[in-house]
Amino acid sequence: MEVIVIGKPAMNVYLPLQEFPQEGDVFTITGKNESLGGITAVSACLLSKWGVKPHFTGVLGSDGFGEKIRNTFS
């Protein structure tokens, strides 16, 4: 089975904090977690894991996040 998935992909960026922030707090962020986001992009990835051949169409930028999304899909 083949499906076409049309939508807008995104990258989710999570910045871990040591504790819940209060007004005026200053934190040093030592790391970050990035993952593919956007419901259509996630659906396409899941479909491929289940043996379905997805064809994704959407618009990506030419920045670093766009490149990461392209690499994830390939």
**CB-neighbour burial class of residue 50 (10 A; exposed 0-12, middle 13-18, buried 19+):** exposed
* Tokens found for residue 74: 């390939």
* Residue 69 CB partners (closer than 8 Å, separation 6+): 9, 11, 36, 41, 60
pLDDT in tens, 19-69: 898 999 888 888 999 888 888 888 888 899 999 999 888 888 889 888 888
Arch. (CATH architecture) of 2-73: 3-Layer(aba) Sandwich (3.40)
Q: In the structure encoding, which two tokens stand for residue 59, read together?
A: 């618009």
Domain ranges of the chain: 2-73
**17-31 pLDDT per residue, tens:** 888 989 998 888 889
Q: Contact at 8 Å (CB) between 44 and 54?
A: yes
Model confidence, pTM: 0.62
